[in-house]
Amino acid sequence: MTTTNNKDKGDAGEDYVNQLAFKSYLRYWCYPNPIDIDGDKKEICDLLISFRDILLIMSVKNHNYDGDYEKYKRKVIAKSTSQLNGAQRKLFNSQREIFIKHPDRDKELFEPSRYKKIYKITVNVGEQFEHYEFSDEANSKGFINIFNKDTFETIIQELDTIKDFVVYLDEREGILSSGKRIVVNCKEKDLLAEFLTNARKFPINYKADHVEEIILNLSGAWDTYNSSEAAALKRKADKASYFIDHLVQTDILKLPNGEIMARELMNLGRTERRMLSNTLFSLVARYEKQTGILARRYSEYNGIGHLLIYYPPDQNEKTVDWVIQQAMQIYSYKTNFREKEIIALAATNGLKQWKFGMFQAEPPITDEAKKYLDDLIEKFGWFKDMKAYYYEEKEYPNEVDRD
């Protein structure tokens, strides 16, 4: 009976984290309870999150703390660390190919060489208590992040893009594995607040040789941040950015090869998505009441060009498709292939009608291709009267329009 109850508790814990991840920005890249399909058929870990060159390996525990911290360390930290290190060994040191399956797709080959960043995370969803160790580095097998349920939920709500989440994990690991003596007088969420309010870094020179001790005397920092006007203004301003998330989920992922474009857009941080959305909104608002205008904006994020286009709703669809394709090539060419990859988002009819494009340049191009593009530039009149639009988006705006 005890074994069954423990299994039920474990399953409940895993279900909680999986549901939370699936409701968040992580859904399309989540592998709940991945199985070594063509091998020993055993579960590799509780949750695997694979996004571009980033891999998160997660272990979930459901331990109710009864005041015995040594028991907690055995049941949660030691056991989870062993499982996470075992999962990493299997995925990266196996002598055979490993196949896993996403719930919505066919099985696929796990490719170890693809990943440049690997994060191991333990989440305990049992009875909550705050004064636990934030990390584990047992046996020099790498850093393990440790969170409780409330903390993990807060983090992926507050840092709700892969880019923002990973930056926090990197900074967190940097300070906790600095080799300094660390005195903790705070909750994990206080640490998060310190990160959020200091340009996404910890204002502590933990790399300096003369620093021997780090005192994290941050108690109450999260409550102060969470109830601040700055946090409220940021969250309100961020609402615009979720337009990109919605577009990916409802339109882009349904396209042939839409996953490629989705990965690039989902690689944007929350503030970058806000900037892209607001630029798009302003472009459409400026030109949608004019007749026959095709307008564009171009910006760069993470080394990728983002071409935003407004086109008239009565324009022939094939003509618009052709223009989008040529425009991407022209921008890549005229920027001297600074961004070899360009994503196009073209909208009309009050953002109710969409077209998408993606272009991958392969320079150098032939003289014939250059002449073709130069002729198009002459025909369209593009790049002859270029205007630079400077758009600043503060992560924490001083003020936004209030309802």
* Segment (H or E) for 184: strand 181-184
Provide the 3-class DSSP secondary structure of residue 338: coil
Do 171 and 184 share a domain, yes or no?
Answer: no
Label residue 180 by pLDDT band (50, 70, 90): confident
Provide the 3-class DSSP secondary structure of residue 110: coil
Label residue 1 by pLDDT band (50, 70, 90): very low
* Segment (H or E) for 274: helix 270-287
Provide the 3-class DSSP secondary structure of residue 93: helix
Domain membership flag for residue 28? yes
Label residue 48 by pLDDT band (50, 70, 90): very high
Query: Which pLDDT score is estimated for 4?
Result: 45
Domain membership flag for residue 403? no
Q: What is the mean pLDDT of residues 333-346?
A: 94
pLDDT tens digits for 343-389? 999 999 999 999 999 999 999 999 999 999 999 999 888 877 666 56
If 0-12 CB within 10 Å is exposed, 13-18 middle and 19+ buried, where does residue 314 land?
Answer: exposed
Query: Model pTM?
Result: 0.89
Domain membership flag for residue 57? yes
Do 157 and 16 share a domain, yes or no?
Answer: yes
CA–CA dist 163, 345 (Å, integer): 21
Domain membership flag for residue 400? no
Q: Over pLDDT 90: what percentage of the chain? A: 63
Is 49 within 8 Å of 68 (Cβ atoms)?
Answer: no
Residues whose CB falls within 8 Å of the CB of residue 259, separated by 6 or more in sequence, listed in order: 28, 253
Do 151 and 185 share a domain, yes or no?
Answer: no
Comparison of pLDDT for 393 and 148, the residue scoring more: 148
Is 332 within 8 Å of 306 (Cβ atoms)?
Answer: no
CA–CA dist 347, 310 (Å, integer): 5
* Domain final position from 159, 177, 195: 177
Q: Is the pLDDT of residue 264 over 80?
A: yes
CA–CA dist 242, 225 (Å, integer): 22
Do 271 and 218 share a domain, yes or no?
Answer: no
Least confident of 42-46, 135-139, 180-184, 257-261: 135-139
Do 186 and 312 share a domain, yes or no?
Answer: no
Do 44 and 193 share a domain, yes or no?
Answer: no
Q: Is the pLDDT of residue 2 over 50?
A: no
Domain membership flag for residue 396? no
Do 168 and 60 share a domain, yes or no?
Answer: yes
Query: Which pLDDT score is estimated for 65?
Result: 81
Query: Which pLDDT score is estimated for 385?
Result: 67
Do 92 and 53 share a domain, yes or no?
Answer: yes
Single-letter amino acid, residue 120: K
Do 275 and 365 share a domain, yes or no?
Answer: yes
CA–CA dist 267, 270 (Å, integer): 9
- Residue 72: both structure tokens together: 């907690």
Q: Is the pLDDT of residue 15 over 90?
A: no
Comparison of pLDDT for 15 and 247, the residue scoring more: 247
Q: Is the pLDDT of residue 138 over 70?
A: no
Average pLDDT for the chain: 88
Query: Which pLDDT score is estimated for 349?
Result: 92
Least confident of 11-15, 80-84, 117-121, 184-188: 11-15
Domain membership flag for residue 185? yes
206-215: long-range contacts, CB 8 A cutoff, minimum separation 24: 206/174, 206/175, 206/178, 206/180, 207/174, 207/178, 211/180, 212/180, 212/181, 213/180, 213/181, 213/182, 213/183, 214/175, 214/178, 214/180, 214/181, 214/182, 214/183, 215/182, 215/183, 215/185
| CA distances to 298, 305, 374 from 366, in Å | 25, 22, 12
Do 153 and 186 share a domain, yes or no?
Answer: no
* Domain final position from 163, 194, 227: 227
Provide the 3-class DSSP secondary structure of residue 247: helix
Domain with 334, as residue range(s), is 248-380
Label residue 391 by pLDDT band (50, 70, 90): low
Domain membership flag for residue 390? no
Do 92 and 170 share a domain, yes or no?
Answer: yes
Q: What is the mean pLDDT of residues 203-222?
A: 88
Label residue 3 by pLDDT band (50, 70, 90): very low
Do 261 and 196 share a domain, yes or no?
Answer: no
* Domains identified in the chain, total number: 3
The CATH number covering residue 97 comes to 3.40.91
The CATH number covering residue 318 comes to 3.30.70
Domain membership flag for residue 82? yes
Q: What is the mean pLDDT of residues 35-40?
A: 94
